[in-house]
Amino acid sequence: MPLDFSSTESNFTQFKKLVEGGSTDTKKINELLVLLKIAIIQASIPTEKDHNQQIVKETLLVREILECGALYSIKQKDIKAFDRFYAQLTPYYYDFQKYIQPSPLQYNIIGLHLMKLLATHNTPRFHAELEIIPDSMLDNPFIKYPLLVEKSITEGSYQKVLSSRSQVPSEHYLVFIDLLSDSMKEDIANCSEKSFKYLSLNEAQQLLQFNPQQLNDFIVKRGWKVQGDKIIFQSGSSSVEIPSQQLIAQTLHYAKELERIV
Alpha carbon 78 to chain centroid distance?
12
Please name which of 32, 37, 39, 34 lies closest in space to residue 14, comparing C-alpha atoms: 32
Instruction: Considering the complex, state which of residue 5 and residue 218 has its C-beta at the smaller distance from other proteins.
Output: 218
Longest dimension (CA), the chain: 85
Distance CA 246, CA 206 (A): 44
Number of other CB atoms surrounding residue 83 within 10 Å: 16
Residue 200 interacts with other proteins (CB under 8 A): yes or no: yes
Q: Which stretch binds other proteins (CB under 8 A): 17-25, 70-78, 109-117, 125-133?
A: 125-133
Contact with other proteins (CB under 8 A) among 16, 51, 125, 144: 125
Segment contacting other proteins (CB under 8 A): 69-77, 107-115, 209-217, 242-250? 242-250
Q: Which is nearer to other proteins, 19 or 162 (CB)?
A: 162
Which residue number, 24 or 227, has a Cβ lying nearer to other proteins?
Answer: 227
Please calculate the CA angle 27-29-34 and round it to the nearest 5 degrees. 95
CB of 192 to other proteins, least distance (A): 7
Determine the Cα–Cα distance for residues 213 and 59; give it in Å rounded to an integer.
52
Query: Minimum CB separation from other proteins for residue 196, in Å?
Result: 6
Name the segment binding other proteins (CB under 8 A); options: 7-15, 76-84, 109-117, 123-131: 123-131
